[in-house]
């Protein structure tokens, strides 16, 4: 019998090696993914159960509702603010640390040399020095609460460090935070004054104009025509300071030019409930996490809810059991640049009243990651720190610019904040306002007793007749020194007006009969006018109406200027697509809605028109110093339409040429971005909100910390403020918090905090309000224990 031999299959041993290797790689990859996931999950704070903490004197309960809002119940005020510090640090520690570092000029220590210029700037500006000057001004009780808050922050920080549970951002940046101090909270408060007080840059810009353009052109860009225009320009020309070199990089650190707010309050006769309604939506930078942190605080002396800056105790905007309040920025001229003349042989000596004096020179050590420390020298004259030389490495010049600022004084805003929280009527709230000095704010107020009120509150200088706040003034001449501050009882105030309506939107708040100078630069009037139009249209307003008004996107600037600009195009020879675009614009309903094509073309047209006016003559590096530019351009167009074009519009060829060429550019830009069919263009395809995380600038961390861009309604000049980067369309500034309070039911108030409460990327409340913010879907925060105590997230803090 023949044996049949079966042929064995050919073996390839290397295949087994490949499979083993691939399997190993997959296991390693999965391990890395699981490890990374656990690292990100690890710092999510404990929200239930109990914790023993050294520093408490009694038990504190913390309930978090479904939006992540902490409701803190304490048996005494020390424990209340200790627990607020602890809980806020649980959610926002990295943001808090970054905030104090930015304000203090300490970012280079953890980020590196790229932050050194910014640190030099803030060290020169002196926010932390101003906070140090303010510490002694606080009464003993208030300062003890600042200490309690700091102790609560440190209790969390110690636990997080000991247990390896610091937020992932610290581990990515490779450092641990240092202990929190009361001074850190005060410094953050000074930063908010900085963010809402900016007129020095306008003075610097107008000095540059005096040096580089004609007299007629310089005066055309003044926010108001000075009665002695040529005289003040002569002074500016006589002092040679290179503004572009001195301040070009500062535009990266300046407050956003469209930082503002809306607020209004209605008396009971204007509402459906018969009780006042109050609404507030401050416009600041939009980021992850939000600048605002919503909290409810309860102790035997206080029951208050609303929002606060992470790192600061109390509630700055909100309501308690009896009252509600909100703010917008007054924007007064609280800063002044001074020309300083330096002694030719002694660089630290300056002229004042015909005598030379020795300025204070301090050296601050700036730590820089992976490099030697940088010794930064700051010169402080009688008028304030020298700003024009903060980044100078050259020999000191004969002339420099110093700055005086109200917030450099010892001020006590956080004392006022804690007093707001305990106020129960207008008299007690007004008493609290006496402690609020910087920044100057438009406060609106309502109480259950039916009172509505308003006050523009804060330190506002009384200037000499020779100083109109438009340009730098001679620091060596005592004539130009401030004459004190507007007396508190003479600040603009309204109580129970006959109209039953009080509203502000950074608009002009006083007439020509007001005896003191406030500012030349107010916001464009469109937001305020729209608010007034809606409020006067009914006597049956509800909380829902107020929320709808906060989301209103009617564009009154377009109502005014689209007809003017279209008329200017009448003699122009348009291409087919330009005619289609013009027809589309004519039929647009003047609402800045994300699905509409009209807003895209209109804003491109206005942005392009502005660039065409100035780009050839004004360096783009100085645009951030150009205070009041939007209002000035509006006035230029109005004047030209009335047959009185100024020198800039004449230089551009007249209104018709300017309108035509900028329209062509706007159509071309829209076509490149969104195609050749104007009816298909969409504002929201360009105008989108991201809520950028500070580490998202480092790719690929943007995929971890940022959500996808969301199309959003509104613009710079609608009530729903959504200011954007003109090149990218990314919305960078707006109402990070919106609040509506019905005095009929202060137990249930309406809020939006975009993008959410938590700073932890895997938390349920990290980005849970992004779409709600876009769509205007408010949540109700209840101060009724029966409501919030039903939450499954109940953390008990116990004395150790």
- What pLDDT, in 10s, does the model give residues 153-172? 999 999 999 999 999 999 99
DSSP 8-state symbol, 554: B
**Once rounded to an integer, what is the mean pLDDT over residues 413-426?**
98
- State the Cα–Cα distance between residues 575 and 538, nearest whole angstrom: 46
- Residue 489 annotated as binding site: no
Give the span between the Cα atoms of 474 and 489, in whole angstroms. 31
Confidence (pLDDT) at 246: 83
Instruction: State the helix-helix crossing angle for 655-674 and 598-614, rounded to 10 degrees.
Output: 130
Average pLDDT, the chain: 93
Please compute the mean of the pLDDT values over residues 599-604 and round it to a whole number: 98
pLDDT band at 217 (very low <50, low <70, confident <90, very high): very high
Give the tens place of pLDDT for each residue, 7-34: 554 555 666 666 666 665 555 444 444 4
Say if residue 625's pLDDT is above 60: yes
pLDDT of residue 392: 63
Minimal CA–CA distance to 585: which of 568, 606, 600?
600
CATH of domain 556-687: 1.10.1400.10
pLDDT grade, residue 727 (50/70/90)?
very high
Residues serving a catalytic function are 261
Look at phi and psi of residue 231 and say left if phi exceeds 0, alpha if psi is from -120 to 50, else beta: alpha
User: Residue 743, SS3?
Assistant: coil
pLDDT band at 743 (very low <50, low <70, confident <90, very high): very high
CA distance 566 to 586: 8
% of the chain surpassing 90 pLDDT = 85
Q: Give the model's confidence band at 258: pLDDT under 50 very low, under 70 low, under 90 confident, else very high.
A: low
Q: How confident is the model at residue 528, as a pLDDT?
A: 97
**What pLDDT is attached to residue 593?**
98
In 3-state terms, what secondary structure has residue 722? strand
Mean pLDDT of 520-532: 95
d(CA 503, CA 509): 10
pLDDT (mean) for 730-736: 97
Q: Is 90 exceeded by the pLDDT of residue 35?
A: no
Q: Which residue has the tokens 């913390």?
A: 62
Provide the pLDDT for residue 254: 84
Question: Residues 38-56: what's their mean pLDDT?
Answer: 84
Residue 393: pLDDT above 70? Answer: no
- pLDDT value of residue 244: 84
Q: What is the Cα–Cα distance from 420 to 432, expressed in whole angstroms?
A: 6
Which pLDDT band, with edges at 50, 70 and 90, does 694 fall under? very high
Domain range annotation of the chain: 556-687
pLDDT at 22: 65
Calpha distance 424→221 (Å, rounded): 47
The predicted-structure confidence for 573-583, as pLDDT tens digits, reads as follows 999 999 999 99
Per-residue pLDDT reduced to its tens digit, 332-368: 999 999 999 999 999 999 999 999 999 999 999 999 9
715 DSSP 8-state letter: B
Q: Band of the pLDDT at 220, cuts 50, 70, 90?
A: very high
Indicate whether 706 pLDDT > 90.
yes
Lowest mean pLDDT among 249-263, 448-462, 521-535: 249-263
- Average of per-residue pLDDT across 742-755: 98
pLDDT for the residue 394: 58
**What is the rounded average pLDDT of the residues 579-608?**
98
In which band, very low, low, confident or very high, does the pLDDT at 40 lie, cut at 50, 70 and 90? Answer: low
């Amino acid at each position: 019998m023949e044996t049949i031999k079966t042929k064995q299959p050919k073996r390839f041993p290397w295949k087994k090696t490949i499979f083993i290797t691939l399997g190993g790689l997959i296991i390693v990859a999965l391990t890395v993914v699981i490890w990374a996931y656990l690292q990100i999950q690890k710092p999510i704070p404990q929200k239930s159960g109990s914790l023993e903490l050294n520093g408490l004197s009694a038990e504190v309960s913390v309930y978090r509702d479904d939006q992540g809002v902490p409701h803190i119940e304490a048996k005494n005020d020390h424990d209340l603010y200790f627990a607020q510090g602890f809980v806020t640090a649980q959610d926002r520690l990295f943001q808090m640390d970054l905030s104090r570092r930015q304000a203090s000029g300490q970012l280079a220590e953890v980020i590196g040399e790229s932050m050194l210029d910014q640190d030099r700037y803030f060290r020169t500006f002196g926010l932390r020095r101003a906070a140090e000057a303010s510490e002694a001004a606080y009464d003993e009780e208030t300062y003890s609460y600042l200490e309690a808050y700091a102790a609560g922050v440190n209790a969390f920080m110690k636990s997080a460090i000991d247990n390896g549970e610091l937020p992932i951002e610290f581990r990515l940046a490779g450092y641990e935070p240092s202990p929190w101090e009361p001074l850190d909270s005060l410094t953050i408060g000074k930063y908010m004054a900085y963010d809402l007080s900016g007129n020095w840059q306008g003075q610097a810009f107008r000095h540059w104009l005096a040096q580089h353009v004609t007299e007629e052109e310089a005066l055309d860009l003044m926010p108001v025509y000075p009665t002695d225009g040529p005289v003040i320009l002569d002074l500016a020309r006589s002092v040679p300071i290179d503004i572009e070199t001195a301040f070009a990089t500062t535009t990266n650190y300046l407050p956003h030019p469209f930082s503002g707010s809306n607020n209004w309050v209605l008396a009971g006769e204007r509402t459906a409930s018969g009780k006042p309604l109050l609404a507030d939506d401050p416009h600041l930078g939009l980021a992850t996490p939000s600048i605002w942190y919503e909290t409810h605080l309860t102790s035997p002396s206080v029951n208050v809810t609303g929002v606060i800056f992470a790192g600061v105790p109390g509630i700055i905007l909100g309501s308690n059991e009896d009252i509600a309040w909100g703010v917008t920025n007054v924007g007064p001229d609280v800063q002044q640049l001074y020309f300083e003349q330096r002694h030719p042989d002694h660089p630290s000596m300056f002229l004042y009243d015909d005598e030379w004096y020795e300025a204070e020179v301090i050296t601050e050590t700036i730590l820089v990651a992976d490099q030697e420390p940088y010794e930064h020298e700051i010169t402080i004259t009688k008028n304030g720190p020298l700003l024009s030389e903060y980044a100078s490495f050259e020999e000191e010049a004969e002339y420099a610019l110093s700055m005086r600022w109200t917030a450099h004084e010892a001020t006590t805003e956080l004392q006022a904040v804690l007093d707001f929280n305990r106020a129960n009527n207008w008299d007690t709230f007004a008493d609290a306002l006496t402690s609020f000095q910087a920044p100057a704010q438009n406060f609106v107020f309502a109480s259950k007793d039916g009172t509505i009120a308003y006050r523009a509150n804060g330190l506002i200088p009384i200037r000499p007749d020779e100083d109109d706040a438009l340009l730098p003034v001679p620091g060596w001449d005592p004539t130009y020194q401030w004459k004190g501050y507007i007396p508190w009882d003479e600040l603009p105030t309204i109580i129970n007006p006959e109209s039953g309506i009080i509203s502000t939107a950074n608009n002009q708040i006083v007439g020509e009969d007001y005896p003191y100078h406030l500012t030349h630069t107010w916001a464009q009037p469109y937001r305020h006018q729209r608010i007034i139009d809606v409020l006067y249209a009914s006597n049956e307003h509800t909380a829902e109406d107020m929320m709808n008004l906060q989301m209103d996107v009617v564009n009154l600037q377009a109502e005014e200027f689209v007809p003017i600009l279209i008329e200017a195009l009448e003699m122009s020879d348009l291409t087919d697509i330009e005619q289609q675009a013009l027809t589309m614009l004519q039929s647009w309903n003047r609402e800045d809605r994300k699905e509409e094509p009209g807003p895209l073309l209109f804003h491109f047209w206005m942005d392009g028109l502005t660039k065409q006016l100035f780009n050839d003559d004004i360096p783009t590096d100085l645009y951030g110093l150009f205070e009041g530019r939007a209002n000035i351009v509006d006035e230029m167009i109005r004047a030209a339409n009335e047959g009185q074009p100024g020198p800039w519009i004449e230089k551009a060829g007249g209104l018709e040429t300017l309108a035509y060429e900028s329209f062509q550019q706007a159509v071309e830009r829209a076509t490149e971005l969104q195609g050749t069919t104007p009816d298909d263009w969409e504002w929201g395809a360009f105008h989108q909100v991201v809520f950028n995380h500070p580490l998202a600038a480092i790719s690929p961390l943007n995929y971890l910390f940022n959500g996808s861009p969301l199309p959003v309604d509104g613009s710079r000049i609608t009530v729903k403020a959504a200011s954007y980067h003109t090149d990218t369309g990314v919305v960078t500034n707006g109402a990070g918090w919106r609040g509506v309070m019905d005095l009929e039911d202060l137990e249930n108030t309406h809020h939006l905090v975009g993008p959410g409460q938590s700073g932890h990327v895997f938390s349920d409340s990290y980005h849970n309000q992004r779409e709600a913010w876009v769509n205007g879907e408010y949540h109700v925060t209840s101060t009724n224990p029966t409501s919030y105590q039903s939450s499954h997230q109940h953390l008990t803090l116990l004395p150790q």
